[in-house]
A and B are shown apart, each in its own frame.
Chain A
Amino acid sequence: MNIHEYQAKRVLQEYGIKIPKGKIAYTPNEAKKAAAEVSPKGPWMVKAQIQSGARNKGYFIEKDAGSEGGVRLVKSRRNIASQAEEMLGSTLVTIQTGPTGKKVSRVYVEAFIEVERYFYIALAINRVKAELTLLVAVVKDHDILKLALSRPEDILRISLDIGKGVDKETVAKVIKFLKLKPRSAKYLTKMINSLHQVFMEKDASMIEINPVGVMKNGELVALDAKISFDDNALFRHQDLAKLKDDCEVSERELQAAKYRFTYSEFEGSVGCIVNGDGLALAAMDLLREKGIGTACFINVKGGVDKDKIASGIKIIMTNPRVEGILLNILGGFLRCDLIADGIVSAASEVGLNVPMVVRFEGTNKDKAKDILYNSRLPVIWADSMEDSIEKLAQALEEAA
């Protein structure tokens, strides 16, 4: 689960990380008041709050939102309200949001802080080593992804002990790598330890401050912040679960999440129903070789009752992009007959209007076949992965 910048900053501040004074605003008038509250004089930063990086380099779809991006430096208080008005209710597009962008429902007004230079700091997990990793870098234009792709060696990565704070050696290494002045050392120690604490106590999966500003006196300030929390640990953080912003997630994703199913959307035309992400990936690879794109897949793994499964299948059946359905179930924990029941129930509610290829393997596959056969639904049977792709491609061609 991701949260907004202003929420992430509040969490960091609770743990002793310095942030610029700021206030959230839902209307132009609130923005104006917020500016006066956070600083008696300008300049101020007015920042669109959508859950995406690179908002400064984004653009608004609406013309009256102006040509600037979603992060604006405003020098005079007179202009705060108008800048906020331009952004509020408008749609911001960034490299991370995709072309449809995200609607801005609130802006964050901050006091501008003069800094000498910037750097990137993050805590993430190295999956192979299963270690908590500190990442730091000097990043041009704050574009960490670009750096990770083009010059991964320019990111310093240091493993941290999960049980204790950062040691002097590590801090010294980071200071040297970033060429910071020695007077920043105590602030850096504090920042790393605070991030470490947030990560462990709040069950984060990743925290990024991009950028950290280095002030003249050596102090460090978080000028932006992103925290992702581990969805699987939200059960022990009721306070954080409340921060979830459903507007940030598509309707279908929300529905799928309700049943704990993974749901993913792409640009193509086939809907996949599977019981494992790997199975979906392999099916998508084969479809692509046939020149067929995937519209979406749902992983109904762990579905234990047919109503939940039916709801999951309906998400695929009712997706307007879907022109054909590929169902591939390798039953183990999940019984094939439950899936068959789910298909019948979903189809009776929303109808099956596109070709659907079905392949069952594993637990109770014969029973599942009987159920579908008796339902008289016009499904196409396949008996292997390649066969299912072959038959779907053929059906799509005939339908076209």
Chain B
Amino acid sequence: MSVFVNKETKVICQGITGTQASFHIQKSLNYGTQVVGGVTPGKGGTMHLNLPVFDTVKEAVKETGATASVMYVPAKYVKSAVQEAVEAGLELAVTIADGVPLKDMLEIKSMLKGSNTKLIGPNTPGIITPGEARLGIFPEDIHNQGSIGVVSRSSTLTYEAVLETKRAGGGQSTVIGLGDDVLIGMDFIDVLKAFHDDDATKSIVMIGQLGGAFEEAAAEWYKKLPNKKPVVAFVAGNAIPFGHKMGYAGDITTNGYISVQDKKDALSDAGIKVVNHINDIHLALEDLQ
């Protein structure tokens, strides 16, 4: 068991004929991911990496029965790529590119509401269920199967968290990077919910960072949860001085100023074990056993 993707998941790749896509899809195929086709408008009917290429997502879904898509399309085409995925009724879309225009993301988010599709990203390393499926750009050799769910806002700290699960002698059920952009698809709550519904996930590592109120929202949700799985959290950005122009400038007026300490306090208050160093995660995980 795992969340969102496993070895049965049929995956298509939007933008499959690009250089980066080709590189990473080949890796995903080697990993055992069921990539069943690709989409590049204008190249329908051809083959790429021994996979059929289609002009549209709808066609690809009809012919292959795919339920998930990983997109390596450039930021400016992400909106139309997600729209296609939504209209084709895909369950999951993963978008790797960073720097999707805010307006496009606002439109994408309203498109996703009431649709069948969940979005991971943009600006994410993707999702990996060790030994089963890899959608994105994760270095595949650092992951191993296990019972710890990992979810992170920061791409690179996702890897760091994975290394910590291994140091604790464990492995990962599924690893998800939420994405580093100002606006993202799935958030902590969506993923924590899924991990709680997944029997294979026994504990969870979540990595937050300065900016936005994503951790507060997650803490509020977790606090009310009747049957909690243990969560270990780390939040990065304590050393950034107040007022330093980093991240989204509108945060303070829309939410009030939320410091890293505020985030940590909210998570602790909800019953989440918060560690102060990223390299202390394995210690907290060992304590759970």
- A135-159 at interface with B (beta carbon < 8 Å): 135, 144-145, 148-149, 152, 155, 157
Q: Are A232 and B100 in contact (CB under 8 A)?
A: yes
Q: Are B244 and A232 in contact (CB under 8 A)?
A: no
Which one, B32-40, B48-56, B106-114, B222-230, is touching chain A?
A: B106-114
Q: Contacts A148-B256, A205-B102, A362-B139 known; A278 to B182 CB distance under 8 Å?
A: no
Interface membership of A254, Cβ < 8 A: no
Partner of B239, one of A149, A277, A281, A332: A281
Residues of B within 8 A of A294 (CB): 239
Residues 58-99 of chain B: 1 if any A CB is under 8 Å from the residue's CB, otherwise 0?
000000000000000001100000000000000000001011
Q: Are B155 and A332 in contact (CB under 8 A)?
A: yes
CA distance A301 to B155 in the complex (A): 10
Residues of A within 8 A of B246 (CB): 264, 277
Q: Are B251 and A127 in contact (CB under 8 A)?
A: yes
Q: Contacts A125-B182, A149-B252 known; A276 to B155 CB distance under 8 Å?
A: yes
Q: Are A281 and B240 in contact (CB under 8 A)?
A: yes
Q: Are A330 and B237 in contact (CB under 8 A)?
A: no
Q: Contacts A203-B102, A277-B154, A330-B156 known; A96 to B239 CB distance under 8 Å?
A: no
Residues 158-198 of chain B: 1 if any A CB is under 8 Å from the residue's CB, otherwise 0?
01100100000000000000001011000100000000000
CA distance A257 to B25 in the complex (A): 30
Partner of B125, one of A125, A133, A135, A332: A332
CA distance A275 to B237 in the complex (A): 15
Interface membership of A12, Cβ < 8 A: no
Q: What is the number of residues of chain B that contact chain A, defined by CB distance less than 8 Å?
A: 67
How far is the CB of A3 from the nearest CB of chain B, in Å? 14
Residues of A within 8 A of B20 (CB): 333
CA distance A282 to B163 in the complex (A): 15
Residues of B within 8 A of A131 (CB): 106
| Residue with the greatest number of chain A CB neighbours at <10 A, chosen from B75, B160, B241 | B160
> Which DSSP category, helix, strand, loop or mixed, fits chain A's interface?
mixed
Partner of A279, one of B104, B105, B139, B160: B160
Residues of A within 8 A of B139 (CB): 330-332, 361-363
Interface membership of B133, Cβ < 8 A: no
How far is the CB of B285 from the nearest CB of chain A, in Å? 16
Closest to B260 in A: A285
Closest to B109 in A: A130
Interface membership of A243, Cβ < 8 A: no
Q: Contacts A145-B252, A276-B156, A362-B139 known; A281 to B210 CB distance under 8 Å?
A: yes
Interface membership of A84, Cβ < 8 A: no
Residues of B within 8 A of A278 (CB): 152-157, 180, 207, 209, 236
CA distance A294 to B153 in the complex (A): 22
Q: Are B250 and A206 in contact (CB under 8 A)?
A: yes
Partner of A124, one of B138, B216, B254, B277: B254
CA distance A331 to B210 in the complex (A): 23
Q: Are A200 and B244 in contact (CB under 8 A)?
A: no
Q: Are B244 and A266 in contact (CB under 8 A)?
A: yes
Q: Are A148 and B180 in contact (CB under 8 A)?
A: no
Residues of A within 8 A of B153 (CB): 278
Interface membership of B142, Cβ < 8 A: yes
Closest to A267 in B: B241
Residues 208-248 of chain B: 1 if any A CB is under 8 Å from the residue's CB, otherwise 0?
01111110110000000000000000101111110110101
Q: Contacts A145-B252, A266-B244 known; A277 to B103 CB distance under 8 Å?
A: no
Q: Are A275 and B105 in contact (CB under 8 A)?
A: no
Q: Are A124 and B250 in contact (CB under 8 A)?
A: yes
Interface membership of A228, Cβ < 8 A: yes
Q: Are B159 and A362 in contact (CB under 8 A)?
A: yes
Residues of A within 8 A of B217 (CB): 128
Partner of A277, one of B159, B180, B214, B279: B180
Q: Are A232 and B252 in contact (CB under 8 A)?
A: no
Closest to A278 in B: B154
CA distance A264 to B237 in the complex (A): 13
Q: Are B76 and A235 in contact (CB under 8 A)?
A: yes
CA distance A288 to B237 in the complex (A): 11
Interface membership of A368, Cβ < 8 A: no
CA distance A95 to B243 in the complex (A): 9
Closest to A127 in B: B212
- A368-399 at interface with B (beta carbon < 8 Å): 384-386
Interface membership of A170, Cβ < 8 A: no
Q: Are B248 and A205 in contact (CB under 8 A)?
A: yes
Residues of A within 8 A of B163 (CB): 361, 384
How far is the CB of A340 from the nearest CB of chain B, in Å? 16
Interface membership of B253, Cβ < 8 A: yes
Interface membership of A284, Cβ < 8 A: yes
How far is the CB of B115 from the nearest CB of chain A, in Å? 14
Q: Contacts A232-B101, A233-B103 known; A128 to B187 CB distance under 8 Å?
A: yes
Residues of B within 8 A of A128 (CB): 187, 212-214, 216-217
Q: Contacts A130-B183, A302-B98 known; A228 to B138 CB distance under 8 Å?
A: no
Residues of A within 8 A of B105 (CB): 130
Residues of B within 8 A of A162 (CB): 103, 106-107, 110
Interface membership of A88, Cβ < 8 A: no
How far is the CB of B191 from the nearest CB of chain A, in Å? 14
CA distance A128 to B211 in the complex (A): 10
Q: Are A281 and B142 in contact (CB under 8 A)?
A: no
Interface membership of A230, Cβ < 8 A: yes
Apart from A125-B248, A230-B102, A332-B137, what are 12 other A-B pairs with CB-CB below 8 Å?
Answer: A128-B212, A152-B255, A162-B106, A200-B103, A231-B99, A236-B76, A267-B241, A278-B153, A278-B155, A279-B157, A285-B239, A330-B156
Among all A-B residue pairs, the 4 with the closest Cβ atoms: A278-B154, A276-B156, A124-B250, A152-B256
A-B contact pairs, 26 of them (CB 8 A): A122-B253, A127-B248, A130-B109, A144-B253, A148-B257, A149-B252, A149-B257, A162-B110, A205-B249, A233-B101, A276-B157, A278-B236, A281-B209, A282-B157, A282-B160, A282-B234, A284-B240, A294-B239, A301-B156, A330-B139, A330-B159, A332-B139, A333-B96, A362-B142, A384-B279, A385-B279
Interface positions of A (Cβ within 8 A of B): 95-96, 122, 124-128, 130-133, 135, 144-145, 148-149, 152, 155, 157, 162-163, 200, 203, 205-206, 228, 230-233, 235-236, 260, 264, 266-267, 274-279, 281-282, 284-289, 294, 301-302, 330-333, 361-363, 384-386
